[in-house]
Amino acid sequence: MADATKIRVKDAVDSFVARVRHNMDVHLDILVSDLTRAAEEDIATRTAAAERQGGAAATLPASPNAAARLDLLAALVGAMRLLDEAETLRAILDALARGVSAEASRTAVMLVDGDTVRRFADFGYAVGPRPADVPVDSFSALARAVNEKQRIALSSAAASFSGEVPAFLRPATGHSGLVIPVVVGGNVVSLVYAEGPDRLTSPHASVWIEAIELLVRHASSRLENVTSRRTVEVLSTPN
């Protein structure tokens, strides 16, 4: 390959990675802003309550919600650092699974292998059906997630999951679940299932959902990055 072509390929990959990094920074900034605003509103509420009681805000017990948000942010930043440090496709998916498991009550990361979804890693399945290899077309939700690159929301309130998802992707009572495709180069290479408190039962359910979506997007960018770098190395190798 001519040197000029090698340079153009490398520049294109670097430009793509820079755009992805920028998008991830924007999403992280939005999440941080949301968490900060929620914490500020919590402090304002506690202060107002203390003033009505004729005391000081400092005399009120620390808000567990505010502490939980700070813990969430710290865990999220740590998970993203692990994704950044991972240098292989397997290591990235493993870091993704561990990062999601810190935010969800149950987590399953599955590989898309042709017409089959294969178990890669799972957390929180102490009881009930464990993740297993299943045909994509046997379950409508999996087929939509893979073929249409579509995020699938699942609720325990649904009348029946028969034919929609396998048993190990059915949320527990009071919980909701998400099946999120991991897209690399326009193809779905993996599916991530995360389960946690439903919006109807927990006012802070959207926080863990946003955090997991951010982790999946960041993992997709890292997989794109590693794949692109390998392509550049192959194209740049002298024949």
86-136 pLDDT, tens digit per residue, is 888 999 999 999 999 988 999 999 999 999 999 999 999 998 899 999 999
CB-based contact 27:217 (threshold 8 Å): yes
Where are the alpha helices (H) located in 61-204, listed in sequence order?
64-85, 89-101, 140-147
Residue-number span of the structural domain to which 45 is assigned: 3-236
16-29 pLDDT, tens digit per residue, is 555 555 555 565 56
165-195 pLDDT, tens digit per residue, is 899 999 988 888 999 999 998 899 999 999 9
Q: For the chain, what is the domain count? A: 1
Whether residue 57 is predicted with pLDDT greater than 70 in this model: the reply is no
Taking Cα atoms as reference points, which of 106, 121, 109 lies closest to residue 188? 109
The residue count for the chain: 239
Q: Which CATH number belongs to the domain containing residue 92 in this structure?
A: 3.30.450.40
CB-based contact 29:35 (threshold 8 Å): no
List of residues 6+ apart from 197 with CB closer than 8 A: 105, 174, 175, 176, 204, 205, 208
> Is-above-0.85 flag for pTM?
no
58-76 pLDDT, tens digit per residue, is 444 444 455 556 666 677 7
- Collapsed DSSP state (helix, strand, coil) of residue 191: strand
Element of type H or E holding 208: helix 205-236
CA gap 163, 137 in Å, rounded: 10
CA gap 172, 98 in Å, rounded: 21
